[in-house]
Structure 1
Amino acid sequence: MVYENSAGSSTPKARRNDVVRAEKDRFGGIKWGSAFFGWLTAVGMTVLLSALATAIGVGVGAANTSGADQAADQARQNVETLGIVSGIILAVILFLAYYCGGYVAGRMARFDGAKQGLAVWLWGIIIAIIVAVLAAVAGSQFNILDNLNGAPQIPVDGSLTTTSGIIGLVIALIVPLLGAIVGGNAGMRFHRKVDQAGIDHQDGLVG
């Protein structure tokens, strides 16, 4: 069976793009189910990476103890630096976690990787809003994202009015979004390699 390309493309990559375009027209768009599983992956990775970072921090602190008084003095002198470092670590954790979540969604959905990553992030916003409402109505014990260090979160205790609260919210919103979009595109690219292998195989049969 000879493959005919309606667009007149002559290279394997061009023919693959035509096939992908036709498939995307039919099966593209946001897949909310895939994005939900991507969000679950992101939350799980956030927990694991946070636990790992905490363990490393505890280990480093235990190795560097040189007396309680000296440690206390160093802590007081380096509060601002520790805050900056903590923010950077949090940003790295959220980026990696949501990269993994976006990758899962992109792999599952096959098309529109950036949109799948956006949907992963939107699931995080939706869940955060629901949890914030529950916490405001029924009590802080329902703020499960606070216990999990999952992101993004919607503050309900007035901390958003502080500079650190605003910076924290920006980190919790923007960094996961970027990570999820990059991960979604990475997951989608795997399928383009599979599509290209199919076209190359077909060319071999035709030849």
Structure 2
Amino acid sequence: MDRRRGGIRWGAVALGWLVAVLAGIVISPALRLLYGAAIGPELDRGELTAGLVAVSMGSGFLAYLVGGYAAARMAGGAGGTHGALTAVYGLVVGVVLGVVLGLLGLVFVEGVALPPATFGLAGEALVAGLVLFVVNLVGGYAGGRLGAR
């Protein structure tokens, strides 16, 4: 596409998403390890869950920051847009995989197959998913702005 007219380069977005996934594979366990070392063994379940949610959001933000940067560098123009679209692309891939696995009757969580009836799109899970998406979107946009030429 013509860069002067601000066209979206979907190849750059897909590559940015792939970079974000790979960065998340490295960043998430590192942040969990740091969190585990920082808290020690004497926290109650509520504090532990809140901390893990913060770690998940932080690792998502950092992963999409890196992915958005890569997408913007490859696209050459409209860096913030290309960076933010990495998170949208990730959402679409996640929804498609969720539907396909739901139709197949399997969802894998931590290596264990679960039927789709064990999770839902209501209440706290929906709100947490939306907040995580917004955090990823902001991370992608920021990375795209950093990577813009």
Structure 1 CA distance for aligned equivalents of residues 117 and 20 of structure 2: 23
Q: Which residue, 3, 10, 27 being the options, matches 1:49?
A: 27
Larger radius of gyration: 1
Q: Cα RMSD between the aligned structures?
A: 2.5
The question of whether the paired residues in 1 share the 8 Å contact of 2:84 and 2:139 is answered with: no
Residue matched to 1:38:
16
TM-score by length of 2: 0.82
Give 5+ residue unaligned stretches, structure 1: 1-22, 65-70, 149-154, 192-207
The question of whether the paired residues in 2 share the 8 Å contact of 1:45 and 1:97 is answered with: yes
Structure 1 CA distance for aligned equivalents of residues 35 and 117 of structure 2: 28
Structure 1 CA distance for aligned equivalents of residues 35 and 81 of structure 2: 36
For residue 160 of structure 1, give the secondary structure of its aligned residue in structure 2.
Answer: coil
Residue matched to 1:116:
82
The question of whether the paired residues in 2 share the 8 Å contact of 1:39 and 1:120 is answered with: yes
Deviates more, 1:166-175 or 1:120-129: 166-175
Matched, 1:83 2:56: no
Q: Which residue, 85, 96, 105 being the options, matches 1:130?
A: 96
Cα deviation, residue 110, structure 1: 0.8
The question of whether the paired residues in 2 share the 8 Å contact of 1:29 and 1:115 is answered with: no
Residue matched to 1:183:
143
One-letter identity of the residue aligned with 1:96: L
Structure 2 CA distance for aligned equivalents of residues 147 and 171 of structure 1: 22
Cα deviation, residue 185, structure 1: 1.1
One-letter identity of the residue aligned with 1:25: R
The question of whether the paired residues in 2 share the 8 Å contact of 1:99 and 1:179 is answered with: yes
Identity %: 26
For residue 108 of structure 1, give the secondary structure of its aligned residue in structure 2.
Answer: helix
Matched, 1:105 2:66: no
Cα deviation, residue 130, structure 1: 1.4
One-letter identity of the residue aligned with 1:181: Y
For residue 61 of structure 2, give the secondary structure of its aligned residue in structure 1.
Answer: helix
The question of whether the paired residues in 1 share the 8 Å contact of 2:71 and 2:86 is answered with: yes
Structure 1 CA distance for aligned equivalents of residues 117 and 98 of structure 2: 7
Q: Which residue, 10, 15, 25 being the options, matches 2:4?
A: 25
Normalized per residue, the structure richer in strand is 2
Aligned length: 144
Q: Which residue, 43, 60, 65 being the options, matches 1:94?
A: 60
Cα deviation, residue 168, structure 1: 2.0
Structure 2 CA distance for aligned equivalents of residues 85 and 100 of structure 1: 23
For residue 161 of structure 1, give the secondary structure of its aligned residue in structure 2.
Answer: coil
